Amino acid sequence: MNLTIYQVDAFTKEVFKGNPAAVCPLESWLPDETMQRIALENNLAETAFFVKTGDVYEIRWFTPLIEVNLCGHATLASAFVIFECLGETTTTIKLHSHRSGDLSVEKQGTRLILDFPSYGLNEIEIDARLVEAVGKRPLQTWETQGNMVFMLFEKESDIAGIAPEMSALAKIPFDEVIVTAKGDSADFVSRMFAPRIGIPEDPVTGAIHCSLIPFWAERLGKTELFARQISARGGEIFCELKSDRVKIGGNAVLYLKGEIYV
């Protein structure tokens, strides 16, 4: 069986920046084991698979180790493929995830706008093991949807200087560890580490903004925000809080198109 594969750099206008995601359009679903093996072989933070049924794109996302509930950058990459490579002529596409429900992506010029759910935060005590693994004590910590923990720091330079001990972080009982602070180069900045699920550091993570956007919107007193994820590759996220939904906007660029033989 031959499958077409695309690799797209998301949340950037430049190749070699943003977050690379693999995208595999399918006529029908492959066995879960096969999709997981493809994701492992790709060795990217996420590989997205989608099947079009009527006017809805059913979508799933896999890290090298597990299937995840929601992925922003691979959804952005999938929408880019649908619009720019597969010839979709509408300006808005509907997607559905069996784990995260109904989603959509709107094309506004060169920018793609994800419509995702908004998730709240539940404050928790600061865990000494987490502090030791990250190497710096936060001001506060919260847990949120998808077994994620958020750590709030004072300033952007705190986030830039974090160098976690990945082996220790992999033993922490959270799949994703997010560090964030009010920004100098943006309204807010963040980084995300997930060695427990096969992603040491994710370059740009759309899905964590389902919680970051409402958090910073309330804290900064505005509903439209500009964010940066300040990993080595870096990425730009255009954010908006709209009731119980968030708008997560960004650009994308095609890196490669090829074939998989399975």
| DSSP count for the chain of H helices, then E strands | 6, 18
Which candidate in 46, 156, 176, 236 is catalytic?
46
- Tell me how far apart the 2 most distant CA atoms of the chain are, in Å: 53
Task: Report the candidate in 128, 148, 200 with the shortest Cα–Cα distance to residue 138.
Answer: 128
Dihedral angle computed from the Cα positions of residues 143, 158, 16 and 1, in that order, rounded to the nearest 10 degrees? -20
Question: Residue 175: CB partners within 8 Å, gap ≥ 6?
Answer: 146, 147, 148, 194, 196, 197
143 is a catalytic site residue: no
Rounded Cα distance between 154 and 161, Å, is: 12
Question: Residue 181 burial (CB < 10 Å; 0-12/13-18/19+)?
Answer: buried
How many whole angstroms separate alpha carbon 176 and alpha carbon 147? 7
Amino acid letter, residue 202: D
Catalytic residues: 46
